[in-house]
C-alpha cells in the first residue's frame, strides 16, 4: 500500500518559497561565484545552481547527513571532472549557503521563521564546509596510502 | 539655555540667545514633549512690547492646546491655537497705548507621533526638514517681497536686494485674526525638524545650517551650535532654535554584532577558555607537550581574540589567519586530519555554548551572534580546506611521478615516463595525442578493500528495502535505464549482509562501464546517481512501515548510495587525476609563455621609446634619419 509522504517541516517549506529569489540572486552574481558558472549560459547555470538549491531543501527537510555527504561527493567529482579544485567547490558551496541565508534574513525579516531559517542555513553551510573538508581529507589519506604503496613497489622494481 | 527632552523616542532640544546687539530677548519658545508642542515666536514692537507680544502669544497657544487637545484634530488645533494667540495679542495691544502695533511671528509644530507632525507658521520664522542629509524649507516667509515674488511681480534676485525684504506681510497681533499656513509632515526615522527665528538664518549661511543639522550630533549640541553659528555671523538679532529628531531607525544587525555582540563575546573570554578546557582541548594531540594553560592561551585564547576582532570589524581575516596558522603548522608536522578536526570541533562547540549563554540573557543578540560565530567557523573551514586541497595536489603530483617511474621501469623507454609524455604532447600534436584527452575512454582501477562498516541487515529490513526500491522503480521514467541500474545497485549494496565496500566498487565499475571523462560521459552518470537518491528518499516515505523501520531503511539506502557514489567518485578521480595534472602543467607553461611575451613587449616598448627620441618631426620625411614605427 502506498501512503502519502510525511509532512514537510515548516522551515524547509519556508526555504522552498524563497528558492526562486535565491536562485535569481545567485544567477546575477554567478560570475563572482565561480568562473565556470560565469562562462555558462543562463539556462545551464540555472539548472546547475537549482540542483544545489534543491539538494539544500532536501537536506533541510530530511536532515540526512549521509545523503548530504553523498551529494557533496558527487558534486566534488563532477567539478573535478571540469578541472575545478575542491577549494573552488568549497568556496562556491559556501557562497550559495551564504546567499540563501542572506535572502532568508532579507525576505523574512522580523519573523520567527526568518530568524530560524537564517540560523539554520548558516549552520548548514558550516556543516557543508566541514563535510567537504572531511571528503577531501579522506581522499588525501587514501592517496597518501596509495603513494606509500607505489613507493614501496618502485623500490621493489628498481 | 538648551532644553533637552524626549517624546516617544523623539529627541528635542531648544535654545535661545539675546544675540550680540540687542539688550532684550524678544523671542520666546515652547518645548513641551508631553503634548508634542514646539513653538518659536519672534516678538516685535518698541518699549519691550516685542517680548510681551511673543510671551502673550506663547501663553495663549499653550493654553488653548492644553484645553482642547483631547477634542480637536492636531491640524485644526494648531490653527485654532495660533488664531487664539493672534486675538489675544491684538486685544493686549489695544489695552495699552505703549503696546500698540506689537506683534509676533510664530512657527509651531505638533508632533502627533513619531511618524507624523503638523507645522504652522505666520511671519518669517521658519521650519526646516532634514532628511537623508538634505535640508528642505517647509515654510515660506510672509513678507511683502515674498508675496510679490509669488505673484510674479518680482524676481528672486530683485527680492534679495529689495529695501522692504524684511517687512512682514503677516504677523500675530496686527489683526484679531491671522492667516495661518499649515503643512502636514510625514516623519521618517532619523528625520530632523528645525524651527527658528530670523536671528538664525539672517546671520548664518544655508550651507552651514545644513551642515550642522545633518552632523549627526545630538539635538542639544546641534541647537547650541546653531546659536553659536548665528553669533559668529554677527548675532545682530535674538536667535532661537528648536531641533526635533524623529526616532532613529533601529541599529542594523551588523551594528549590533560589531558593538554589543563583540563586547559580550569578549566579556565571556574566560568562560570560553574554561569550556574549551572542559571539553578536552588541552589533551588534543596538536597541543601535546604544551602546558595546559599555554595550550589554552595559544589556541582558545587566540581564536577568541580572532573572533572578537572579526566581529568588531565584520571581517573574517583574523579567524582565517588563526585557522591557517594552526592547520598549516599541524600539516607541516605531517599531522593527520582527525586531531585537527577534533580540535576545531571543541572550539566550535565551546563557541556555540558561550553564544547560547549570551542568548539566554538577550535572545536577539544571541541569535545574531550565533549567525556571526557560525560564519566565523565557516571561514575557519575555508582556510583549512585551502590547505587540504594544496596538500592533495602535492600528493597527487608525487603520486604521478612515482607511477611514471614504475611504468618506466616496467616498460622501459621514454614513452613510459609521464614527464616525457607531457613534453612530447606539447611539442608534437601529430601522432601521440590525436584525440582530445577528454574523449579517451577510461576504466580506472579501484581496489575493493575498504573496511567493513555495515552492522548487517535483518529480513524485515531487507523486505522493506525491496519494497522501497520497487516503488522507486515505479517512479522512474521508462527510458531512465541508468537510474534503474543504479537503483538495483543501491538495493544490492544495502542488503549486502557483509556491508563490504567491495559490492559498492563492483557495482560502480559495472555502472561506470567504459565512458569518456567529460560532460557527456560523467555528467549523466552523476545526474542519474542524484536522481536515484532523490527518488529513493521520497519512496521510503511511501512504504507501509513503522517510523523506526522507515528510518532504518532510509539509513541503509543512504549508506548504500553513499558507498556507491564514493566508489564511482573514486573511479572518476582516478581517471581524471593525470589529466588534471597535465592541465596544471599546461597552465604553468602557458603562464611562462605569457611572461616571455610580456618580456618581449617591454623590449619592444623600450626600442620604440629609444627610436622615437631620434625622430625629428620638424624635418621632411626623407631627412628624419630613422624609420617611423
Q: How far apart are CA B141 and CA B468, in angstroms?
A: 83
A99 touches chain B (CB under 8 A): no
**H-only helix segments in B476-518:** 481-495, 501-512
Q: Which 3-state string (H, E, C) describes B544-557?
A: CCCHHHHHHHHHHH
Residue A130 confidence class, pLDDT cut points 50, 70, 90: very high
* pLDDT computed for residue A6 by the predictor: 44
Chain A CB contacts of B541 under 8 Å are 3-6
β-strand B37-44 against B10-17: which pairing, if any?
unpaired
Say how far apart CA B270 and CA B300 lie, in whole Å: 10
Binary contact (B471, A91; C-beta < 8 A): no
The mean pLDDT value of chain B amounts to 81
Q: Name the B residues in 231-270 with CB < 8 Å from any A CB.
A: 253
Length of chain A: 158
> Is residue B41 pLDDT above 80, yes or no?
yes
Q: What whole-number distance in Å separates Cα of residue A86 and Cα of residue A109?
A: 34
- The pLDDT value recorded for residue B182 is 95
Average pLDDT over residues A125-138: 94
Confidence band for B620, pLDDT divided at 50, 70 and 90 = low
Q: Helices in B233-362 by DSSP H: which ranges?
A: 253-256, 262-267, 269-278, 292-295, 302-313, 317-332, 337-361
* Residues in A touching B381 (Cβ below 8 Å): 90, 126, 129-130, 132-133
Percent of chain B with pLDDT over 70: 83
Handedness of CA A27, A32, A35, A38 (dihedral sign): positive
Taking the C-alpha atoms of residue B218 and residue B467, their distance in angstroms, rounded to an integer, is 72
pLDDT of res. B279: 94
Q: Label residue B559 by pLDDT band (50, 70, 90).
A: confident
Beta strands B116-122 and B134-137 are unpaired
* B325 to chain A, closest Cα gap in Å: 17
Chain A CA closest to residue B352: A123
CA B466-B470-B474 angle, to 5 degrees, is 170
R_g of chain A computed on alpha carbons: 19
Tell me the pLDDT band of B360, cut-offs 50, 70 and 90. Answer: very high
Q: Binning pLDDT at 50, 70 and 90, where does residue B342 land?
A: very high
Subunit contact A91:B382, Cβ cutoff 8 A: yes
The percentage of residues in chain B with a pLDDT greater than 90, rounded to a whole number, is 35
Residue predicted with more confidence, B27 or B498? B27
Which residues of chain A make contact with B392, given a CB cutoff of 8 A? Answer: 86, 136, 139-140, 143
Residues B388, A140: C-beta atoms closer than 8 Å: yes
Q: What is the pTM of this model?
A: 0.51
Compare all CA atoms of chain A with the CA of B551 and give the residue at the minimum distance.
Answer: A64
Check CB contact under 8 Å for B388 and A134.
no
Q: Among B33-37, B72-76, B362-366, B621-625, where is mean pLDDT lowest? A: B621-625
B409 interfacial to chain A (CB closer than 8 Å): yes
pLDDT digit string, tens, across residues A57-101: 989 888 888 889 989 988 888 877 776 788 888 988 998 999 999
Burial of B207-217, coded b for 16+ CB within 10 Å and e otherwise, reads: eebbebbbeee
Assign B397 to helix, strand or coil: helix
A146 touches chain B (CB under 8 A): yes
Query: And the C-alpha cell for B610?
Result: 629609444
CB contact under 8 A, B523 and A78: yes
The pLDDT tens digits of the residues spanning B369-423 come to: 999 999 999 999 999 999 998 888 888 777 777 777 766 666 654 443 434 333 4
Q: Does B378 touch chain A (CB under 8 A)?
A: yes
Range among B21-25, B263-267, B450-454 with highest mean pLDDT value:
B263-267
Q: Which residue of A has its CA nearest to B345?
A: A130
- Cα-Cα-Cα-Cα torsion B308, B311, B312, B318, nearest 10 degrees, comes to 60
pLDDT in the model for residue B407: 66
C-alpha separations of B395 from B332, B442, B508 in Å: 13, 22, 25
Tell me what pLDDT residue B390 has: 87
B381 vs A58, A98, A126: nearest CB: A126
CA distance B410 to chain A (A): 8
Whether residue B486 contacts residue B528, with contact meaning beta carbons closer than 8 Å, is answered with yes
Identify the pLDDT of residue B427. Answer: 39
Q: What's the CA gap between B447 and B318, in Å, rounded?
A: 42
Could you tell me which chain A residue has the CA closest to the CA of B516? A81
Distance between CA B23 and CA B54 in Å, rounded? 16
Length of chain B: 629
Angle (nearest 5°) at CA B555 between B554 and B557 = 65
Q: pLDDT of B221-231, one tens digit each?
A: 999 999 999 99
> Nearest C-alpha of chain A: how many angstroms from B25?
50
The backbone torsions φ and ψ at residue B382, rounded to the nearest 5 degrees and listed phi first, read -60, -45
| Three-state DSSP string of B44-65 | ECCCCHHHHHHHHHHHHHHHHH
CB B214 within 8 A of CB B130: yes
Per-residue model confidence (pLDDT) at position B31: 93
Look up cell 613510459; give the residue. Answer: B416
Helix (H, G, I), strand (E, B) or coil at B241: strand
The pLDDT of residue A45 is above 60: yes
Is the distance from CB of B219 to CB of B12 less than 8 angstroms? Answer: yes
d(CA B345, CA B348): 5
Interface size between A and B, measured as CB pairs under 8 A: 175
**Which SS3 state, helix, strand or coil, does residue B10 take?**
strand
The whole-angstrom distance between residue B216's C-alpha and the CA centroid of its chain comes to 22
> Chain A closest CA to B238's CA: distance in Å?
48
pLDDT-wise least confident of B40-49, B156-165, B168-177: B156-165
For helices A65-81 and B547-614, give the axis angle rounded to 10 degrees: 30
Max distance between CA atoms of chain A, in angstroms, equals 70
Tell me if chain B has a CB within 8 Å of the CB of A69.
Answer: yes
pLDDT digits (tens, 9 = 90+) for B415-472: 434 343 334 333 333 333 333 333 333 333 333 333 334 445 678 888 889 888 988 8
Interior angle at CA A59, CA A58 and CA A60, nearest 5: 90
CA–CA separation, B515 and A43 (whole Å) = 26
The radius of gyration computed from the CA coordinates of chain B, to the nearest angstrom, equals: 42
Q: How much is the average pLDDT of B42-53?
A: 81
Q: Which residues pair with B516 in a beta bridge?
A: B441
pLDDT tens profile B91-135: 998 888 778 888 999 999 999 988 899 999 999 999 999 987 788
Q: What is the 3-state secondary structure (H, E, C) of B68-134?
A: HCCCCCHHHHHHHHHHHHHHHHHHHHHHCHHHCCCEEEEEEEEEEECCEEEEEEECCCEEEEEECCE
Helix, strand, coil percent values for chain A (each to nearest 5): 85, 0, 15
> B471 at the A interface (CB within 8 A)?
yes
Q: Which of B402, B467, B537 is the best substitution to test chain A (most A C-beta atoms within 10 A)? A: B402
Separation of CA B327 from chain center: 29
Q: Which of A2, A136, A146 sits opposite B399 (nearest CB)?
A: A146
User: What integer pLDDT is reported at residue B408 of this predicted model?
Assistant: 66
Residue in chain B nearest A87 by alpha carbon: B386
User: Where do the DSSP E strands lie in B386-531?
Assistant: 441-442, 515-516
pLDDT given at position B117: 94
Average pLDDT over residues B301-322: 88
| Strand ordering across the sheet containing B126-131 | B3-7, B10-17, B239-245, B192-196, B126-131, B134-137
Min Cα–Cα distance to chain A from B599, Å: 28
DSSP 8-state code for residue B246: P
More confident residue, B510 or B286: B286
Q: Which residue of A has its CA nearest to B384?
A: A133
Say what the pLDDT of residue B216 is.
76
Q: Three-class SS of residue B236?
A: coil
Pair type for strands B27-32 and B10-17 = unpaired
Give pLDDT, residue B241. 96
- Taking contacts as CB-CB distances below 8 angstroms, the residues of chain A near B539 are none
**Of the ranges A90-94, B158-162, B482-486, which one carries the lowest mean pLDDT score?**
B158-162
**The pLDDT of residue B87:** 94
Looking at residue A8, its pLDDT comes to 57
Question: Of A46-60, B353-367, B492-506, where does mean pLDDT reach its minimum?
Answer: B492-506
Vertex A63: Cα angle to B538 and B339 (nearest 5): 135
Given an 8 Å threshold on Cβ–Cβ distance, is B573 in contact with A77? yes
d(CA B69, CA B118): 14
Chain B contact set for A12 (CB, 8 A): none
Residues B240, A103: Cα–Cα separation, whole Å: 48
Q: Are B42 and B198 in contact (CB under 8 A)?
A: yes
Confidence band, pLDDT 50/70/90 cuts, at residue B558 = confident
Out of B381, B392, B561, the one facing A143 most closely (by C-beta) is B392
In this complex, is the C-beta atom of A80 within 8 Å of any C-beta atom belonging to chain B? Answer: yes
Please give the pLDDT value at position B443: 36
Q: CB neighbours of A39 closer than 8 A, spacing ≥ 6?
A: none
What pLDDT does B494 receive? 85
Mean pLDDT of A18-22: 94
- State the average pLDDT for chain A: 83
Return the C-alpha cell found at B538: 521520497
- DSSP one-letter string for A81-127: HTT--HHHHHHHHHHHHHHHHHHHHHHTTTSHHHHHHHHHHHHHHHH
The three three-digit cell numbers of residue B406, written as one number: 614504475
> Inter-chain contact A81–B402, Cβ cutoff 8 Å?
no
Contacts of B526 in chain A (CB under 8 A): 74, 77-78
B539, closest residue in chain A (CA to CA): A5
Of residues A69, A101, A154, nearest to B402 (C-beta): A154
The helix-helix angle for B363-411 and A86-107 (nearest 10°) equals: 160
Model confidence pLDDT, tens digit, residues B192-213: 999 999 999 989 888 888 888 8
pLDDT mean over B145-160: 79
Q: Which of A64, A78, A150 has the CB atom closest to B403's CB atom? A: A150
| Contact call for B377 and A6, based on CB within 8 A | no
Mutate to test the interface with B, among A77, A88, A93, A116 (most CBs of B within 10 A): A77
DSSP lists the bridge partners of residue B242 as B14, B195
Are the C-beta atoms of residues A122 and B368 closer than 8 Å to each other? no
- Report yes or no: B496 and B454 within 8 Å, Cβ to Cβ: yes
Does residue B349 have a pLDDT over 90?
A: yes
CB atoms near residue B516 (< 10 Å): 17
The per-residue pLDDT for B449 is 39
Asked if B569 lies within 8 A of A77 by C-beta distance, the reply is: yes
pLDDT at B527 exceeding the cut of 50: yes
pLDDT at A23: 93
**Window B:387-406, CB contacts with A under 8 Å:** 388-389, 391-393, 395-396, 398-399, 402-403, 405-406
Instruction: Report pLDDT for B186.
Output: 92
pLDDT band at A157 (very low <50, low <70, confident <90, very high): low
Query: Under an 8 A CB cutoff, do B399 and A2 touch?
Result: no
How far is A150 from chain B, CA to nearest CA, in Å? 7
Ramachandran class of B48: left when φ > 0, alpha when ψ lies in -120 to 50, beta otherwise: left
Task: With CB atoms and an 8 Å threshold, state whether A141 touches B558.
Answer: no
Query: pLDDT: is A128 or B257 the higher one?
Result: A128
Q: What is the pLDDT of residue B592?
A: 83
Residue A76: predicted pLDDT: 85
Q: Which of B529, B562, B550, B341 is nearest to B453 (CA)?
A: B562
If pLDDT is split at 50, 70 and 90, which confidence band does B623 have? low
Amino acid at each position: 500500500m502506498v501512503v502519502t509522504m510525511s509532512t514537510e517541516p515548516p522551515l524547509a517549506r519556508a526555504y522552498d518559497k524563497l528558492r526562486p529569489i535565491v536562485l535569481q540572486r545567485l544567477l546575477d552574481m554567478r560570475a563572482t561565484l565561480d568562473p565556470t558558472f560565469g562562462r555558462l549560459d543562463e539556462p545551464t547555470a540555472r539548472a546547475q545552481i537549482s540542483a544545489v538549491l534543491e539538494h539544500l531543501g532536501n537536506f533541510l527537510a530530511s536532515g540526512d547527513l549521509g545523503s548530504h555527504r553523498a551529494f557533496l561527493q558527487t558534486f566534488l567529482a563532477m567539478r573535478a571532472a571540469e578541472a575545478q579544485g575542491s577549494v573552488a567547490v568549497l568556496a562556491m558551496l559556501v557562497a550559495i549557503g551564504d546567499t540563501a541565508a542572506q535572502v532568508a534574513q532579507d525576505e523574512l525579516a522580523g519573523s520567527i521563521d526568518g530568524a530560524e531559517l537564517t540560523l539554520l542555513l548558516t549552520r548548514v553551510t558550516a556543516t557543508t564546509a566541514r563535510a567537504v573538508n572531511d571528503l577531501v581529507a579522506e581522499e588525501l589519506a587514501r592517496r597518501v596510502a596509495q603513494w606509500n604503496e607505489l613507493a614501496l613497489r618502485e623500490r621493489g622494481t628498481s | 539655555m538648551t532644553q533637552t527632552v524626549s517624546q516617544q523616542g523623539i529627541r528635542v532640544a531648544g535654545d535661545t540667545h539675546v544675540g550680540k546687539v540687542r539688550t532684550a530677548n524678544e523671542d520666546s519658545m515652547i518645548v513641551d514633549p508631553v503634548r508634542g508642542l514646539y513653538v518659536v515666536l519672534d516678538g516685535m514692537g518698541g518699549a519691550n512690547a516685542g517680548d510681551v507680544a511673543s510671551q502673550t502669544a506663547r501663553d495663549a497657544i499653550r493654553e488653548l492646546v492644553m484645553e482642547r487637545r483631547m477634542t480637536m484634530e492636531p491640524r485644526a488645533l494648531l490653527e485654532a491655537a495660533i488664531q487664539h494667540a493672534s486675538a489675544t495679542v491684538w486685544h493686549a495691544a489695544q489695552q495699552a497705548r505703549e503696546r500698540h502695533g506689537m506683534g509676533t511671528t510664530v512657527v509651531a509644530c505638533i508632533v502627533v507621533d513619531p511618524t507624523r507632525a503638523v507645522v504652522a507658521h505666520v511671519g518669517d520664522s521658519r521650519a526646516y526638514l532634514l532628511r537623508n542629509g538634505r535640508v528642505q524649507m517647509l515654510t515660506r516667509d510672509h513678507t511683502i517681497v515674498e508675496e510679490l515674488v509669488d505673484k510674479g511681480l518680482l524676481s528672486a534676485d530683485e527680492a534679495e536686494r529689495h529695501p522692504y525684504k524684511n517687512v512682514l506681510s503677516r504677523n500675530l497681533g496686527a489683526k484679531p485674526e491671522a492667516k495661518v499656513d499649515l503643512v502636514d509632515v510625514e516623519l521618517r526615522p532619523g528625520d530632523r525638524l528645525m524651527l527658528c527665528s530670523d536671528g538664525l538664518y539672517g546671520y548664518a549661511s544655508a550651507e552651514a545650517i545644513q551642515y550642522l543639522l545633518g552632523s549627526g550630533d545630538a539635538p542639544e549640541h546641534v541647537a547650541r551650535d546653531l546659536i553659536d553659528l548665528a553669533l559668529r555671523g554677527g548675532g545682530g538679532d535674538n536667535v532661537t532654535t528648536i531641533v526635533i529628531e524623529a526616532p532613529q531607525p533601529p541599529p542594523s544587525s551588523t551594528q549590533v554584532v560589531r558593538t554589543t555582540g563583540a563586547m559580550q563575546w569578549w566579556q565571556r573570554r574566560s568562560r570560553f577558555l574554561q569550556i574549551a578546557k572542559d571539553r578536552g582541548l588541552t589533551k588534543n594531540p596538536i597541543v601535546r607537550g604544551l602546558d595546559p594553560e599555554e595550550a589554552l592561551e595559544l589556541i582558545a585564547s587566540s581564536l577568541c581574540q580572532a573572533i572578537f576582532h572579526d566581529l568588531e570589524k565584520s571581517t573574517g581575516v583574523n579567524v582565517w589567519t588563526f585557522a591557517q596558522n594552526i592547520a598549516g603548522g599541524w600539516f607541516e608536522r605531517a599531522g593527520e586530519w582527525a586531531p585537527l578536526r577534533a580540535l576545531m570541533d571543541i572550539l566550535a562547540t565551546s563557541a556555540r555554548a558561550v553564544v547560547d549563554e549570551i542568548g539566554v540573557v538577550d535572545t536577539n543578540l544571541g541569535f545574531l551572534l550565533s549567525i556571526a560565530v557560525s560564519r566565523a567557523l565557516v571561514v575557519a573551514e575555508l582556510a583549512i580546506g585551502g590547505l587540504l586541497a594544496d596538500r592533495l595536489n602535492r600528493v597527487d603530483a608525487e603520486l604521478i611521478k612515482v607511477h611514471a617511474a614504475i611504468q618506466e621501469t616496467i616498460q622501459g623507454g621514454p614513452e613510459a615516463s609521464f614527464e616525457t609524455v607531457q613534453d612530447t604532447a606539447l611539442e608534437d600534436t601529430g601522432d601521440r595525442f590525436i584525440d582530445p584527452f577528454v574523449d579517451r575512454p577510461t576504466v580506472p582501477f579501484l581496489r575493493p578493500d575498504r573496511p567493513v562498516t555495515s552492522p548487517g541487515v535483518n529480513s524485515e529490513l531487507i523486505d522493506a528495502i525491496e519494497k522501497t526500491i520497487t516503488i522507486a522503480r515505479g517512479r522512474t521514467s521508462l527510458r531512465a535505464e541508468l537510474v534503474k541500474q543504479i537503483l538495483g545497485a543501491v538495493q544490492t549494496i544495502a542488503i549486502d549482509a557483509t556491508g563490504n565496500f567491495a559490492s559498492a566498487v563492483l557495482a560502480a565499475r559495472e555502472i561506470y562501464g567504459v565512458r569518456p571523462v567529460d560532460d557527456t560521459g560523467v555528467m549523466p552518470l552523476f545526474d542519474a546517481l542524484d536522481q536515484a537518491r532523490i527518488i529513493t528518499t521520497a519512496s521510503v516515505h511511501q512504504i507501509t512501515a513503522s517510523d523506526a523501520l522507515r528510518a532504518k531503511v532510509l539509513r541503509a539506502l543512504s549508506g548504500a548510495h553513499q558507498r556507491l557514489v564514493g566508489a564511482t567518485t573514486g573511479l572518476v578521480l582516478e581517471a581524471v587525476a593525470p589529466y588534471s595534472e597535465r592541465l596544471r602543467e599546461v597552465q604553468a607553461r602557458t603562464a611562462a609563455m605569457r611572461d616571455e611575451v610580456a618580456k618581449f613587449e617591454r623590449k619592444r616598448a623600450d626600442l620604440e621609446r629609444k627610436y622615437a627620441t631620434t625622430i625629428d618631426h620638424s624635418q621632411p620625411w626623407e631627412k628624419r634619419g630613422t624609420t617611423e614605427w
